[in-house]
Structure 1
Amino acid sequence: MTSLPEDPKRLIREDDRDTAVQRLQDAYAEGHVSHEELDERLHQVLIAGTHGALASALDSLPARSAGTTSTIAVAGGRIQRRGVWRVPRFLKVESAFGRVHLDLSRAVIEHAAVDIELQLGTGRAKITVPRDATVDFEDLRTGWKDSVYRNRRHSHSDGPRIRISGTMGFGRLKIRHARR
């Protein structure tokens, strides 16, 4: 998961606001904030325009536990997930020399947003997302080849938001929407 940027004057995006709302809801469900405090902080998040204002609404919340990120790692070889599988909220994929294929088209996605962090050396990665998903990979840094993604013209906004971040060395990332 990417944290809030260092620049508190930077304007927030809607997915930053959504992440903050989810974090507050999780804190309430875990008993870290009262109902009144949740209402007050949600109001702050909804009217926030900058990361500084957003951060002040999240102050004093406990840090996310380390167990909320699932990691798949191999030195070489292939990482492949397809068919019916449960996608965690935060997924970290690490491979030094292998190929990665994540097929989310039939996966169980229980969250409105899924953060996938790629840490890849060489090799290529292919991610198939559900038809109605929206994809954001602005935070992905590539060393050699550009990522390949064609945005859907008739994208439905009710699908999950897939955010891809991290670093790719000499491989190429190809993202496509499922056909059905």
Structure 2
Amino acid sequence: MNSPQGNAASRVREDDRESAVRRVREAYADEHIGHEEMDERLGRVLAATTQGELAAAVDLLPAAGPGATATIAAAGGRIKRRGAWRVPRVLKVESAFGRVRLDLSRAVIEDPVVDIELSLGTGNARITVPRDAIVEVEGVTTGWKDLRYRPRQPTRPGAPRIRFSGAVGYGRLKIRHAWR
């Protein structure tokens, strides 16, 4: 665990606790630990008051990975995600024919950087990012139509960074910031 001073006696910060909970759950999901050990470790993580206690609760677990990768694919038809959905560290969006609508404005974004890799044939794509997100579109190539994006200044430090890459064939890609 990273503590501000690196001191095992320093108090636990909530983001460190959340990271430890995520690490225990991932170890269980990857079958590195059993159900009883997961329960025991989660109890210790939630009860920890110092960085040393927190570090002991996740001791010998595999290191936290770079984050999950998920693919949303459709040969034809629509791809649509909105509301409170969890955005993985790397999201691959593949569509041969059809429309893509991704709304990240209310999505759960746990990682400071999210990479969205697009592989779109025909059809338009509209992606709504959080109001304060930092967006990078330099990695996107478009074929027939253009990319529409107007940058906005982030309103808070630590805003999520969303990096787009990949290709859009015969369709328009529109990325916009949410109003709220």
TM-score (norm 2): 0.61
The secondary structure found in structure 1 opposite 2:101 is strand
* Structure 1 CA distance for aligned equivalents of residues 101 and 154 of structure 2: 25
For structure 2, list consecutive stretches of 5 or more residues without a partner in the other structure: 1-22, 28-64
Larger radius of gyration: 2
Aligned to 1:177: 177
Aligned to 2:152: 152
The question of whether the paired residues in 2 share the 8 Å contact of 1:134 and 1:157 is answered with: no
Q: Partner amino acid for 2:93? A: V
Shift of residue 156 of structure 1?
A: 3.6
1:58-116, Cα deviation, whole Å (9 max, x unpaired): xxxxxx89x93200110010000000100000000000001001100000000000000
Q: What is the count of residue pairs matched by the alignment?
A: 118
Q: Percent identity?
A: 68
Counting only pairs closer than 5 Å after superposition, residues 157-168 of structure 1 correspond to structure 2 as 157-168=157-168
For structure 1, list consecutive stretches of 5 or more residues without a partner in the other structure: 1-25, 31-63
Aligned to 1:107: 107
Aligned to 2:39: none
The root-mean-square deviation of aligned C-alpha atoms, in Å, is: 2.1
Counting only pairs closer than 5 Å after superposition, residues 1-180 of structure 1 correspond to structure 2 as 68-153=68-153, 155-180=155-180
The question of whether the paired residues in 2 share the 8 Å contact of 1:96 and 1:121 is answered with: yes
TM-score (norm 1): 0.61
* Structure 2 CA distance for aligned equivalents of residues 156 and 125 of structure 1: 27
Structure 1 residue runs of 4+, over 6 Å off?
none
The question of whether the paired residues in 2 share the 8 Å contact of 1:133 and 1:156 is answered with: no
